[in-house]
Amino acid sequence: MATVETGARLHFGFQNLSLAHERLYGGIGVALAEPRLIVEAGRADGIRCDDPSVRPYAQRAVEVLDVPGAEVRVPKQFGRHVGLGNGTQVALACLQAIAEAHDRAADVRERAPELDRGGRSGVGVATFEHGGFVVDAGHPTERFTAEPPDPGDWRVPEPIAAWPLPDHIRFVLVTPAVQAGRSGEEEDDSMRRVVERADPGIGDEIATLVTRRLLPAVVESDVDAFGRAVARLGRLNGAWYADEQGGVYRPPAGRLIEALDDSSAVTGAGQSSWGPTVYGVTDAEAVERAVADAETALADLDIDGEVRVVEPENEGATVDP
């Protein structure tokens, strides 16, 4: 059996969603040490996988690698469609584990398009590869209309910035027990509408934000400045999505983010991807206050949910053949 272990990721937003600019998308995000995913794979004839949510990923990996089959087990997994990037991590981990089990080389970045991954954001692939904070290059806009290219007809955008985050930074994750975030055809339809009407001026403001505030904060390990910058990035992205998700943030994320913003222990808060998970940026010394404020926010809204404190992950997936 070959074992691949990887973690979740936060997606802070995109650099541009307007067709008026030369490059489209350009994801920004960070790898998380938790929650974790473990995929184990061995040789088999056909597909043996007891988890119906993972079986399609295993089937596609077997097809891409052109091997007889695989036995796949997933002893640890985190929530799907909650804003933490489960789909990409499962797809890549299945590919890597099955390749190792069959003594095949598998370049996950090269093969990701065949798995229908990396078509918009390259953050999930980059965090699987090496962890850390990532800004990817996006795609040339002339290759995209409001419709994305056909599945597999793209290259995963390369990182234009990849940097470890400091050991003392922490993320408070709040996942309310509400309907899962968008995925599949529903997500594609929403993104099409967003791109069709995206304000190019927002992309201009984000460009300045990234180069003058966000990247310097990462390089200088300035947690306060980093939190403020990613929070602003999330609000600007939310203006693009407002018509699709019922506001700058998807309800009830906005009220949770407002509560986290009011916390003296949190330097910035936002929504990861389509949610419902929201995050607050804090540091190791302020964790207890940040958690207490997050739990209070859930209680005040009378919403069940999970509050976790996680570290960034500055290494990529591990493989144990």
Q: What is the pLDDT along the chain (321 residues), one digit of tens a residue?
A: 999 999 999 999 999 999 999 999 999 999 999 999 999 999 999 999 999 999 999 999 999 999 999 999 999 999 999 999 999 999 999 999 999 999 999 999 999 999 999 989 999 999 999 999 999 999 999 876 666 667 667 799 999 999 999 999 999 999 999 987 667 778 888 898 999 999 999 999 999 999 999 999 999 999 999 999 999 999 999 999 999 999 999 999 999 999 999 999 999 999 999 999 999 999 999 999 999 999 999 999 999 999 999 999 999 999 998
- Among residues 39, 72, 60, which one has the least CA distance to residue 117? 60
Quote the pLDDT of residue 321. 80
What pLDDT shows up at residue 151?
Answer: 67
Name the region of 39 (left: φ>0; alpha: ψ -120 to 50; beta: rest): beta
Task: List Cβ neighbours of 33 (8 Å cut-off, separation of 6 or more).
Answer: 7, 310, 311, 312, 313
CB 84, CB 35: distance < 8 Å: yes
DSSP letter at 199 equals -
| pLDDT of res. 146 | 61
3-state secondary structure at position 241: helix
| Residue where the block lists tokens 């506001």 | 247
Q: What is the CA radius of gyration of the chain?
A: 19
Cα(115)–Cα(92) distance, rounded to whole angstroms? 8
Q: Which long-range contacts (CB under 8 A, 24 or more apart) does 189-194 make?
A: 190/241, 190/244, 190/245, 191/120, 191/148, 192/146, 192/147, 193/146, 193/243, 193/244, 194/17, 194/240, 194/241, 194/243, 194/244
Whole-number pLDDT of residue 282: 98
Domain 2-320: which CATH class?
alpha beta
Strand 268-271 with 318-320, pairing: unpaired
181: left (phi over 0), alpha (psi -120 to 50) or beta: beta
Domain ranges of the chain: 2-320
In the prediction, which pLDDT does 44 show? 98
* pLDDT score of 149: 65
Provide the pLDDT for residue 128: 98
What pLDDT score was predicted for residue 253?
94
Residues in the chain: 321
Beta strand pairing status for 133-136 and 2-16? unpaired
Strands 268-271 and 278-283: antiparallel
